[in-house]
A = this chain, B = another copy of it.
Amino acid sequence: MTRSLPRVLLTGFEPFDGEAVNPSWEAVQAHEGREIAGHRIETLCLPVCFGESLGALRRALRRRPALVLAVGQAGGRAAIGIERVAINVDDARIPDNAGAQPIDCPVIRGAPAAYFARLPIKALRAELVAAGIPAEISHSAGTFVCNHVFFGLMHALRRRPGVRAGFVHVPYSPAQAARHPGAPSLPVERVSAALERMVEVALRCEERRESAGALH
């Protein structure tokens, strides 16, 4: 009888904002069932809906993953963005996929103003850059469903300090960018390779002391 492997949960999102695909889910689903660094990868496609996305995520967290990496699309960004902080506010510039458009509501009433990612964010960036994949630390995950899921994730894990978790934004795919003149892109297979390296580094968990600061 084999002992089951510890788990890593990767989540992506369904398409939104008129797109036919979402590169976060394209990149994540390639890893379903794989073994990386002695862990079994489980994947989940989240709806781009306030509330409902968090319900699906919480159900998946019951399976007690050792690491959770949530991934979302950031159209207009050129690099993989490793998010530093989730804030407790929903402020939707466009309706979500269920038509909801909360403005200046807390993600979770009574929860703290913010949570930091529990990831070695500098080590993750260094690994990707060394591998030739554009990557940057981001200080805002926005105020739409990505930040909502990121905040809800960290809140759900607030009493499980041993679980690593965070959020990563990924650029449009080239095919998406082709329809958005001027927009940068990164192919899904590069993003997918980046996710594998990020899982490895996040599980090893050594942080690097180097600046990724923004002046403003």
The interface on chain A, measured as residues whose beta carbon lies within 8 A of the other chain's beta carbons, has a size of 67
- Additional A-B contacts beyond A78-B183, A143-B214 (9; CB < 8 A): A72-B216, A85-B87, A87-B114, A91-B211, A104-B209, A128-B178, A134-B185, A139-B140, A143-B213
B-binding residues in A (CB < 8 A):
17, 72-79, 81, 84-85, 87, 89-94, 101, 103-104, 112-116, 122, 128-129, 131-136, 139-144, 146, 169, 173-175, 177-179, 181-187, 190, 207, 209-216
CA distance A178 to B193 in the complex (A): 15
User: 11 pairs across A/B with beta carbons < 8 Å?
Assistant: A79-B182, A81-B216, A85-B114, A89-B116, A91-B214, A93-B215, A104-B122, A104-B207, A113-B116, A139-B140, A140-B216
Q: Could you say how many copies of this chain the assembly holds?
A: 4
A201 shortest CB reach to chain B, Å? 15
Residue of B at shortest CB range from A106? B116
| Inter-subunit contact B144/A213 (CB<8 Å) | yes
Specify which chain B residues have a CB less than 8 angstroms from the CB of A209 in the assembled complex.
103-104
- Distance A122 CA – B189 CA, assembled complex (angstroms): 29
Residues of chain B contacted by A185 (CB below 8 angstroms): 78, 134, 184, 186
State the CA gap A209–B103 with chains docked (Å): 7
Closest beta carbon of chain B to A133's beta carbon, Å: 6
Q: Is the CB of B213 within 8 A of A142?
A: yes
Residue of B nearest to A91 (CB): B213
**Contact A140-B140, Cβ < 8 Å, known A89-B84, A177-B78, A209-B104:** yes
